[in-house]
């Protein structure tokens, strides 16, 4: 174990671990869920890869890189409980989903299922496909607040039919922070022979994943969020029985030479974020993966309940519907507009040094807190005090 990771084994959490990240020391950073935050240990590993590349770029790109990328893929596959030859790297979940959806030979009349609260970039991709190919879209309408998580599964199953070519299912909804129970949707898709693509942007690191046991056609996840990898590190997982041929958005030298080889080489670029995923996994494993996931869920739950008491609001879903993030109703009577959301986020940062996303859902303002091992309750207490109702 690297000496700089010794502190992770000492049982410490909260601001005593802040020195492991280059975050501003005077801020309350409650938005790990948007872009993550990368520890020094992982950034150092990334810089080492960059220096290796620059010492002999030709040797690195032609000889070292192919082996190193598959080595990183093996580490990630072990963490996700799958096989490395079914994992391909991508820059982010949106890029991975684009690669899959834009590789399909769409026919006019094909249908896609997507939720009303799906990530905007994915919804935009579906809009692009409908304009290009004349395919139909069926919307799974997820009610929010959520009374029971089973309702989310029912909303998908109600609109997935034998005409559905692909069902795009959010594992954790980005704006709602709510976890989708996948099992019933997976079975429904299997029964109808429908391809299922899981947008797992928030899944890796936050949730315990066994991708082989999950058994979906495609699972796309970010590593830069809850795995704490560098920005620009994500993956596409291909199910064991998935026959669809998928190509990266950038078609390069190895077109049609094989799934992993096509994605591993997309031209001259900085591959260090992908190579550094091994360091991010080592970082979490040193802390303890199960301990990490439990800590995040417990901290988010404790913080959410404290904020609900201070602001006199209610959880918008059952407690077990959340993990490392919780979305709560904005406690003040502000108009629910995008302009207000941007203005209030900027005000919180400028006035209180609090970073937290503010979201418009169903014409109301909501905020989404994230938990991370560098956070402690005083961060959430600062937010509680800053937004006490007038």
CATH number of 3-30+288-386: 3.90.1150.10
CA angle 113, 155, 299 (to 5 degrees): 105
Q: How confident is the model at residue 255 (pLDDT cuts 50, 70, 90)?
A: very high
Q: Which of 183-197, 234-248, 274-288 has the lowest mean pLDDT?
A: 234-248
Report, as an integer, the average pLDDT of 58-79. 98
* pLDDT at position 1: 65
Predicted local confidence at residue 140, as pLDDT: 98
Could you read off the pLDDT of 262-271 as tens digits, one per residue? 999 999 999 9
Q: What is the model's pLDDT at position 135?
A: 95
Residue-level pLDDT at 388: 86
Classify burial at 215, counting beta carbons within 10 Å of its beta carbon; exposed 0-12, middle 13-18, buried 19 or more: middle
- Judge whether 330 and 364 are in contact, CB under 8 Å: yes
Question: Once rounded to an integer, what is the mean pLDDT over residues 341-367?
Answer: 98
Does position 387 have pLDDT exceeding 80, yes or no? yes
* Residue 322 scores a pLDDT above 70: yes
Other Cβ atoms less than 10 A from the Cβ of 311: the count is 18
C-alpha 236: how far from chain center: 12
- Indicate whether 172 pLDDT > 80: yes
Q: For residue 390, name the pLDDT band (cuts at 50, 70, 90).
A: low
Please check the confidence at residue 389 and state whether its pLDDT lies above 90.
no
pLDDT at 4 over 80: no
Alpha helices (H) along the chain: 32-35, 40-55, 57-59, 65-80, 93-101, 120-133, 149-157, 183-192, 211-214, 259-264, 272-275, 277-287, 289-311, 338-352, 377-386
Q: What is the mean pLDDT of residues 172-193?
A: 98
Domain 46-282 is found in CATH 3.40.640.10? yes
Chain-centroid distance of CA 139 in Å reads 21
DSSP 22-53: ---TT-EE--HHHH----HHHHHHHHHHHHHH
The full set of domain ranges for the chain reads 3-30+288-386, 46-282
Q: In this predicted structure, what is the pLDDT of residue 17?
A: 97
Rounded mean pLDDT of 7-25? 95
pLDDT band with cut points at 50, 70 and 90 for residue 244:
confident
pTM over 0.85: yes
Q: What is the mean pLDDT of the chain?
A: 96
Using one digit for the tens of pLDDT, what is the confidence trace for 69-103? 999 999 999 999 999 999 999 999 999 999 999 99
| pLDDT digit string, tens, across residues 115-164 | 999 999 999 999 999 999 999 999 999 999 999 999 999 999 999 999 99
């Amino acid at each position: 174990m690297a000496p700089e990771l010794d502190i992770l084994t000492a049982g410490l959490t909260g601001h005593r671990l802040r020195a492991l990240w280059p975050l501003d020391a005077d801020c309350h950073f409650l938005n790990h869920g948007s872009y993550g935050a990368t520890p020094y240990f992982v950034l150092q590993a990334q810089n080492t890869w960059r220096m290796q590349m620059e010492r002999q770029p030709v040797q690195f790109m032609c000889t070292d890189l192919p082996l190193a990328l598959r080595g990183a893929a093996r580490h990630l596959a072990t963490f996700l409980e799958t096989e490395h030859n079914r994992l391909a790297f991508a820059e982010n979940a949106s890029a991975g989903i684009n690669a899959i959806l834009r590789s399909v030979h769409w026919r006019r009349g094909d249908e896609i299922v997507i939720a009303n609260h799906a990530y905007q970039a994915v919804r935009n991709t579906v809009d692009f496909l409908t304009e290009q190919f004349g395919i139909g879209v069926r919307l799974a309408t997820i009610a929010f607040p959520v009374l029971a998580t089973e309702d989310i599964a029912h909303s998908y199953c109600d609109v997935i039919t034998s005409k559905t070519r692909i069902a795009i299912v959010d594992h954790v909804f980005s704006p709602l922070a709510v976890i989708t129970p996948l099992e019933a949707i997976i079975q429904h898709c299997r029964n109808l022979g429908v391809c299922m693509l899981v947008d797992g942007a928030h899944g890796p690191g936050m949730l315990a994943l066994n991708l082989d046991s999950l058994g979906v056609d495609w699972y796309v996840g970010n590593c830069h969020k809850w795995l704490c990898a560098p920005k620009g590190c994500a993956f596409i997982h291909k199910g064991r029985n998935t026959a669809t041929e998928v190509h990266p958005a950038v078609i390069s030298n190895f077109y049609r030479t094989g799934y992993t080889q096509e994605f591993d080489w997309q031209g001259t670029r900085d591959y260090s974020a992908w190579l550094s995923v091994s360091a991010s996994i080592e970082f979490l494993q040193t802390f303890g993966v199960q301990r990490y996931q439990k800590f995040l869920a417990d901290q988010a739950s404790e913080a959410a309940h404290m904020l609900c008491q201070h602001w006199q609001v209610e959880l918008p879903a059952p407690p077990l519907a959340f993990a490392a993030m919780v979305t709560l109703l904005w406690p003040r009577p502000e108009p629910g507009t995008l302009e207000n959301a941007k203005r209030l986020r900027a005000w919180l940062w400028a006035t209180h040094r609090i970073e937290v996303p503010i979201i418009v859902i169903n014409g109301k303002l909501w905020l989404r807190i994230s938990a991370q091992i560098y956070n402690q309750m005083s961060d959430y207490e600062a937010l509680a005090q800053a937004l006490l109702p007038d």
